[in-house]
Chain A
Amino acid sequence: MKAILKREFKSYFRSPIGFVFLAVFFAYSSLMFVFNNLLTQQTLMKPFFAEISMIFIFVIPILTMRSFAEERKSKTDQLLLTAPVKVTDIVLGKFLAAAGVLLLAVVATMFYVLVLNSYGEPVFSEIFIGYLGLFLMGAFFISLGIFLSSLTQSQVISAVSTLAIIFFLWFTSSLSIKFANMMDGAFNWLGIFLDWLIDFLAINNRFADFTLGVLNFVPVFYFVSLTALFLLLTVRVIEKRRWK
């Protein structure tokens, strides 16, 4: 696993992909920092986090589109799958490498906290929890992206489907329809179920819990378990393919 992690992480910076990811992330995050903190002259980072999470829709697919799609296309998966390593280790290595790049990006933006600290008095625990949420949500998107990448040989399909699904998840939180109110009588249960489903999928609501400044177990569990689920699905997809 270590070998794969190392190679993957390095390969992000051998090609422009890692730099494009970091550049877009930094450009957007610094813009948000300027708008939400510097211009408004406040140390509260909640609006910053709320805005910055949106960029994941566009940058996570950059990070994950190559993952397994490229390996299959260039047949290098034959090397990995015939080497004495478990599929789980291969998937985990790839995930951790992408998560490492994400961590690099997230940690680098902590520079803003230093800026805030020299001109005001930010609440570090709140900010740290916000960062944790940002990273956990990003990690979940990465596992989703890797899963979608394992389904195809085309980087384009991999990237577009990842973008579409993250976009969908992100915007379900803006849905203010209440199906339970619309569906009376016999179909009330369906309305309640749809409301629950939308709330469950509304990833931004889970993330918003982190920006409140209190570390809550439920959203942590939500992100960690979804991440694990998609990594597991990826392992299954790859193992299953041998039997085709």
Chain B
Amino acid sequence: MVEIKNLTKKYGDNLAVDNISFTVSKGEILGFLGPNGAGKSTTMNILTGYLSSTDGEVKIDGYDILDNPIEAKKRIGYLPEHPPLYMDMTVSEYLDFVYELKGVKEERAEHLGKIMEAVKITDVKDRLIANLSKGYKQRVGLAQAMVGNPEVLILDEPTVGLDPKQIIEIRDVIKKLGREHTVILSSHILQEVNAICERVIIINKGRLVASDTAENLGKSISNENKFQLRVSGDERSILDALEGISGIKYIKSLGRKEAGSIDFVIEAEPNVDVRTPIFNALAQNGLPILAMQAMDLSLEDIFLEVTQNPADIDAVYENVSEDEIELVGSSNDAKESKKLKTAEPATDAVVAEIAQPAEPATVAEPAIVAEPAINAEKEEEGEEE
């Protein structure tokens, strides 16, 4: 349905999209993941014909977006990053305009009525778009993309600015749409992509770094055995108490978050449950645990790491072809787990090394990359503005 081959886009010398190829088949929901400035919006703008690629080709249902733009665009519904709304129109006037603009053949009142019901904007249809809340504006934008029942829906961060209830509603709408439409959806929220998409593509700095089913990708990420700990007491004695517990890869101090206590991040070897030994060790030393929580690894964490060093991309993802990710998901030997350690949350933390002669190198590494990685991310966000 959607075919992208060797897509490249340059802004001057700046390579925004670098040789991306993928295909999306009919009825598939594809998640497009990446940090801000990764090239998601640029790619989507090229897919929809808003921008032209420097190189490569895009085919929608066999129609090239450059050679046969009208036919290709007829098959696309697009919700850009900023919903393209005319603030001086009411919702129904606006949808009427989109209906006429796209030259839709279906019965107008019924078609638009159905769309407004689906995204739940019927009750605001006579209000000026300028006066709507961001969540409603986003939904009107989605409605606009659905006008004309295009076979391909391209949605650039469709749930941004919605409250949690609305997010769930919109996800349901998108899932439903996915039954009859091909949906390409971008996001920087892993959970969202996990919840909606069958397949996920991750891009960073314009390059495709991973492509797999959401399930496999989720597995590889949740495989990480890491949690956060808050212990009452002073740092030195806590670290002394924890010393010698086998299975801990490293302990990182996050400093004091609550009076009289220290927070730590602890990563253990996969498949080793170190929680009981930790509890016992601390209890024996009279150091009460105030909180212990498994850490969900966010996509942002991975990207902080990956964006740091281009060589890492190869190391972490590019070699992780589909079958390899599966390996990570199913088996848990030390070699695979190494791959995952790169997903270290970046903080300005001090790394406290605990006596683990087996893997001394793993301790220092994440801390070094942590801070510049944050800066890199910030810079990218700035550019986006």
Contacts and interface: CB of A to CB of B under 8 A. Distances in A.
B70 A86 contact: yes
Interface string A222-244: 00000000000000000000111
Contact of A84 (B82, B87, B103): B103
B86 interface: yes
Contact of B73 (A6, A77, A83, A244): A83
Contact of B84 (A2, A6, A77): A77
A78 B78 CA distance: 9
A84 B84 contact: no
B52 A84 contact: no
A85 B50 contact: no
Interface string A48-86: 000000000000000000000000001111111111111
A65 to B, nearest CB: 15
Contacts of B78: 78-79, 82
Given A2-B100, A3-B101, A76 B86 contact: yes
A11 B299 CA distance: 43
Given A7-B86, A84-B102, A244-B11, A78 B97 contact: no
In this complex, which of B80, B85, B98, B101 has the most chain A Cβ atoms within 10 angstroms of its Cβ?
B101
Interface string A1-30: 011101100010011000000000000000
Interface string B40-76: 0000010011111000000000000000011101101
B101 A78 contact: no
A62 to B, nearest CB: 16
A78 B103 contact: no
B254 interface: no
Given A76-B85, A244-B11, A82 B73 contact: yes
A243 B97 CA distance: 28
B138 interface: no
Contacts of A85: 70, 101, 103
Contacts of A11: 86, 88-89
B144 interface: yes
A220 to B, nearest CB: 33
A242 B50 contact: yes
A79 B88 contact: no
Contacts of B103: 84-85
Contacts of A15: 88
B80 A83 contact: no
A81 B97 CA distance: 14
Contacts of A79: 78, 80, 84, 98, 101, 144
Contacts of B84: 74-80
B1 to A, nearest CB: 17
Contacts of A74: 82, 84-87
A244 B69 CA distance: 18
Interface of B: 11, 45, 48-52, 69-71, 73-74, 76, 78, 80, 82, 84-89, 97-98, 100-103, 144
22 contacts: A3-B97, A3-B101, A11-B86, A74-B82, A75-B80, A75-B82, A75-B84, A76-B85, A76-B86, A77-B84, A78-B84, A79-B84, A82-B48, A82-B49, A82-B78, A83-B98, A83-B102, A84-B69, A84-B74, A85-B70, A86-B70, A242-B52
Given A74-B82, A77-B84, A84-B74, 5 more contacts: A6-B97, A74-B86, A78-B84, A83-B102, A86-B70
9 shortest interchain CB distances as A-B pairs = A3-B100, A79-B84, A84-B73, A82-B48, A76-B84, A3-B101, A242-B52, A84-B74, A75-B82
